[in-house]
């Protein structure tokens, strides 16, 4: 005859476990940490992002910049609150700070980010700044596995401004487009050196400002770098 002790031995009480969305996690990605060269002096380019939080609510940061040696040509940083609203999509809102060229600018930001059909990563962010300035940035990238460790990563980014900002060399309307194509080899998923090529094109009033400053409106550069995450 079964006793309570027998039942306890056969079906021991299991302790509780932490629900995934209640634990706090972190993630940091240096998607681009590279040296670019071509058509002039080489530049260091950095593009990073990360978050801390749970499954639904997170604090995001984005930081990117470009400079020659010790001189920073331009840099920007975001601090954003993000909330998941669908399986593959989230909304973000917060602030962005721009540094150089010209006067610094501060923007309020709101946007969406996630995975579009066919696994395209998408970021679409709208900004509002002082004196009625507006800005929209659209960015998409894709990762194509050539082998289990060799990855081809195309990327495209478009900038649109609502009004001209001559002090920063930015014109109203479609301002610039950047396209990159990088091939990386993942020695580890967290560490992958790569080589690639980038194309930049300035348009309309932004191109006119560049010509007035003696700058090129088109550039092609070779990129050598490493992709890191932890």
Architecture of domain 24-229: Beta Barrel (2.40)
pLDDT bucket at 141, cuts 50 / 70 / 90: very high
38 pLDDT tier (thresholds 50, 70, 90): confident
Q: Who contacts 184 (Cβ-Cβ below 8 Å, separation ≥6)?
A: 150, 151, 153, 192, 193, 194, 227
For residue 1, pLDDT beyond 70: no
Q: Is the CB of residue 144 less than 8 Å from the CB of residue 119?
A: no
Q: Which helix (H) or strand (E) holds 32?
A: strand 25-37
Which residues lie closer than 8 Å to 85 by C-beta, 6 or more apart?
A: 91
Say what the pTM is: 0.88
**212: Cβ contacts below 8 Å, ≥ 6 apart:** none
Q: How far apart are CA 180 and CA 199, in angstroms?
A: 6
Q: Is the dihedral of CA 181, 210, 73, 171 positive or negative?
A: negative
Nearest to 207 by CA among 195, 215, 197, 199: 215
Average pLDDT over residues 37-53: 91
Q: Is 17 exposed, middle or buried (0-12, 13-18, 19+ CB in 10 A)?
A: exposed
CA dihedral sign, ordered 205, 208, 210, 216: positive
Question: Tell me: the pLDDT tens digits for 101-112?
Answer: 889 999 999 999
């Amino acid at each position: 005859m079964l006793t309570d002790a027998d039942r306890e031995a056969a079906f021991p009480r299991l302790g509780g476990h932490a629900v995934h969305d209640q634990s706090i996690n972190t993630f940091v990605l240096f998607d681009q940490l590279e040296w670019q060269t071509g058509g002039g002096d080489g530049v260091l380019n950095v593009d990073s992002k990360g978050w801390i939080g749970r499954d639904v609510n997170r604090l995001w940061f984005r930081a990117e910049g470009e400079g020659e040696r010790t001189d920073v040509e331009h840099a920007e940083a975001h601090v954003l609150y993000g909330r998941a609203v669908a399986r593959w999509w989230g909304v973000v809102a917060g602030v962005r700070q721009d540094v150089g060229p010209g006067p610094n600018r501060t923007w309020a930001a709101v946007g969406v980010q996630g995975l579009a059909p066919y696994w395209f990563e998408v970021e679409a962010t709208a900004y509002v700044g002082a004196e009625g300035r507006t800005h929209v940035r659209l960015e998409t990238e894709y990762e194509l596995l050539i082998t289990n460790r060799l990855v081809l990563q195309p990327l495209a980014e478009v900038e649109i401004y609502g009004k001209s900002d001559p002090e920063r060399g930015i014109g109203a309307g479609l301002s610039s487009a950047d396209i990159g194509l990088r091939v990386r080899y993942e020695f580890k998923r967290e560490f992958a050196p790569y080589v690639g090529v980038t194309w930049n094109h300035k348009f309309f009033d932004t191109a006119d400002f560049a010509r007035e400053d003696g700058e090129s409106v088109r550039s092609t550069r070779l990129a050598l770098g490493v992709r890191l995450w932890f």
